[in-house]
Amino acid sequence: ELCEDPRLFVNGISSHDLHQGKLGNCWFVAACSCLALRDSLWQKVIPKFMEQEWDPRQPEKYTGMFHFNFWCFGEWIDVVVDDRLPTVNGELIFCHSKERNEFWSALLEKAYAKCYKKGDPRYSRGEGVFPMAPSLQKQDLRRRRKQQQPLTARDFETETAMGLIQGHAYSVTAIRKVSLGERLLSCSKSEKLFMIRLRNPWGKKEWNGAWSDESEEWTNVSDKERRKIGLTMDNDGEFWMTFEDWCKNFTDVDICRLVNTSFFSIHKTWDKKIMCGAWRKNPDPLLNHAGGCFNNRATFLQNPQYVFDVKKAEDKVLISLQQKDQRIHKKEGKGENFVIGFEIFKVEDNRECRMHTMHIQEKVATSAYIDMRTVFLKVLLKRGRYVLIPTTFSPGVETEFMLRVFTDVPSKLRELKLNKPKPECLDMLRGFPKRVSQIRIHAAEGLESQDQSGGANPYLIVSCENAKVRSPVQQGTVNAVFNTQAIFYRRNVKHPIVVQLFHTRLLRKPFFSRSPCG
């Protein structure tokens, strides 16, 4: 009804295909433009695209039905839509392609709108929103774009004197170091300028400042370099800026981090663990799991608690906390995101029960607390065991959440459900635990040399009754920092906690053995 030769794609898929319509959804169009830059991404969202294409040789096979996949709260869901699209005078009024007979973007938007009505996925907000400032690491940003991680930038919607639209989302389509001047000798080094290419979802209205399409600055760049970076002078909404101008003119950048969890990849991979939970209130403190943030000291530890291990001497940990989409409650006058975040504590190496006090635990990291679907944190943690406590900002708030933890080696993420150790059959004979003791050994200084180089390889064993904790070995030092923590549920309070310090060698012999507490 709209054209003679309708197609899902015309000459493949491109970030230039999408144009924003009358709906104020620039963030959606910018995100889809980033999606179109990477085949492995859009082919996951538009599955079996060749089978969904219109075949003019076999029009009877056309069903008018299209499938799209969206990642929703930890799983991919299949969304089916028909081909009825809103028009005025035969023209699409919402998201559309520059080619009149190409419909993938309009159909994708319809499928997303179907999800939106149910309160499902959103493309961006992968890693978080960061204020733009010159202190933002250029190399880190360039590395993310080199890894084809989707980036969008936002400003505040009126046109400025420099041609930018305030309150508008742009997609970042390239980041380059551009060589200035002609290189006469292959060994000579030219000046390089850090630059960013952006695209306006409208498909028009470009930046007219320095390094805009027809600005004088491009005379300092060779034809070869222009071809290398793909410079065009078309009025297509795409333009280049320097990194400094980008920081001055934009307020936020959304980074969607693509975490590689494949077992068969030659690139850096991550171990992923996912836990789904909920904040639920209950008048019983032992059953209440909606305690609010750290400010609410009396109820904070009533929140769900998760424990994970860092096995390396130091490991980069990526943590994502996502709340259930609240838009399904808009008809009830609600629908706004809750303010969420999380805290991380260094705990005893043998902890298997919930925290009830914070006497010796060290708080090592705090996420941002913000009313967004996802809160993300990247943190460097030392070897040991950690408890992560996800919370809403205010106590008594009920909703579901999903927690994802990515580490270099398996973290064994799991929920702490027990308030105290599970009773065993032998407890009837040997007695039930009467006291909980926590101990932390910070360091050992001035140890005797154990080798020719004047060093030692010390480690600790902390034991009580039938339980013990062993610290990692500290290599080549007589002043060892352990920060080892242990917790013991003691049946016989007269039985001491024994701390032994050893040097690694064939015949284990302790430096000393102490009983610090009875």
pLDDT at site 418: 94
Read off the DSSP letter of residue 246.
H
**Which strand ranges, in their side-by-side order, compose the sheet holding 252-255?**
128-131, 252-255, 151-154, 169-180, 191-199, 238-242
CATH superfamily of 427-517: C2 domain (2.60.40.150)
Among the residue ranges 69-83, 93-107, 115-129, 466-480, the one predicted with the least confidence is 115-129
The verdict on whether 200 is a catalytic residue reads yes
Catalytic residue among 16, 19, 96, 168: 168
* Single-letter amino acid code for the residue at 516: P
pLDDT at site 428: 67
Catalytic residue among 16, 19, 26, 115: 26
Segment 272-281 shows an average pLDDT of 96
**pLDDT higher than threshold 90 for residue 144:** no
CATH of domain 271-415: 2.60.120.380
Read off the DSSP letter of residue 26.
H
Buried b (16+ CB within 10 A) or exposed e, 88-124: eeeebebbbbeebebbbbbbbbbbbbebbeebbbbbb
- Assigned CATH topology for domain 128-255: Cathepsin B; Chain A (3.90.70)
Buried b (16+ CB within 10 A) or exposed e, 382-411: eebbbbbbbbbbebebebebbbbbbbbeeb
Domain boundaries, the chain: 18-118, 128-255, 271-415, 427-517
CA angle centred on 380, ends 374 and 383, rounded to 5°:
120
Catalytic residue among 95, 96, 115, 200: 200
The verdict on whether 72 is a catalytic residue reads no
Give the confidence band of 14 by pLDDT, cuts at 50, 70, 90.
confident
Q: pTM of the prediction?
A: 0.82
- pLDDT tens per residue across span 340-351: 999 999 999 999
The verdict on whether 256 is a catalytic residue reads no
Segment 140-151 shows an average pLDDT of 61
